[in-house]
Amino acid sequence: MTDLDKIDIQILNLLQHNSNLTTKELSNKVNLSTTPVFERVKRLEKNGYIKKYVAILDAEKLDKGLTVFCNITLKQHTKEIGNKFVRDIAAIKEVTECYNISGDYDFLLKVMVKDMKHYQDFVLNSLGSVKNIGSAHSTFVMGDIKNTYAVPI
């Protein structure tokens, strides 16, 4: 972050809360003209501070209202087995996030499905087809308290 100044940080904060802001709207909020703001945004994109722009969808309206966090332990720990697990999990559309973690479990998955029946099908068929899973522990989300994609800067 050493190459970011106060205005860069302002731009990042504004965009991560509303990526639909136009260059003109950004320039008004950071008190710069549009050309320097446009150049700053392009530099932030080029340098990887801004990875991509996305639309955040309503899971309930799309029949994916059940969110489950699934802790996974592998039976064995080799490079090949770990890489195969990662490839297999990345190919499962219901898994929206996957983290390699420390502690009692090896991986934490965020899974989005329609309901409990569909989660059971996911566990039996999708997760069940992934080799070398020793155990899976599921935690069901009862309600969203805070859900942000913003990085605290």
pLDDT, tens digit, 9 for 90 and up, residues 123-151:
999 999 999 999 999 999 999 999 998 99
30-68 in b/e form (b: 16+ CB < 10 A) is bebeeeebeebbeebeeeebbeeeeeeeebeeeebebbb
Q: Which domain holds residue 73?
A: 66-140
**Distance between CA atoms of 80 and 53, rounded to whole angstroms?**
33
pLDDT of residue 103 exceeding 90, the answer is yes
Decide: helix, strand or coil at residue 46.
Answer: helix
pLDDT, tens digit, 9 for 90 and up, residues 109-118:
999 999 999 9
pLDDT, tens digit, 9 for 90 and up, residues 22-79:
999 999 999 999 999 999 999 999 999 999 999 999 999 999 999 999 999 999 999 9
| pLDDT score recorded for residue 70 | 98
Does 33 reside within a domain?
A: yes
Does 153 reside within a domain?
A: no
**Distance between CA atoms of 61 and 77, rounded to whole angstroms?**
39
Residue 33 sits in the same domain as residue 75: no
Q: Given the structure tokens 């309901």, which residue do they identify?
A: 115
**Distance between CA atoms of 16 and 56, rounded to whole angstroms?**
12
Question: CATH number of the domain that 99 lies in?
Answer: 3.30.70.920
Residue 133 sits in the same domain as residue 93: yes
Long-range contacts of residues 125-128, Cβ cutoff 8 Å, at least 24 apart: 126/92, 126/94, 127/70, 127/92
| pLDDT score recorded for residue 2 | 72
Question: CATH number of the domain that 21 lies in?
Answer: 1.10.10.10
| pLDDT score recorded for residue 30 | 97
Residue 72 sits in the same domain as residue 121: yes
Does 145 reside within a domain?
A: no
Please report, as a single letter, which amino acid is at residue 11. I
Residue 90 sits in the same domain as residue 136: yes
Q: What is the pTM of this model?
A: 0.88
Please report, as a single letter, which amino acid is at residue 83. N
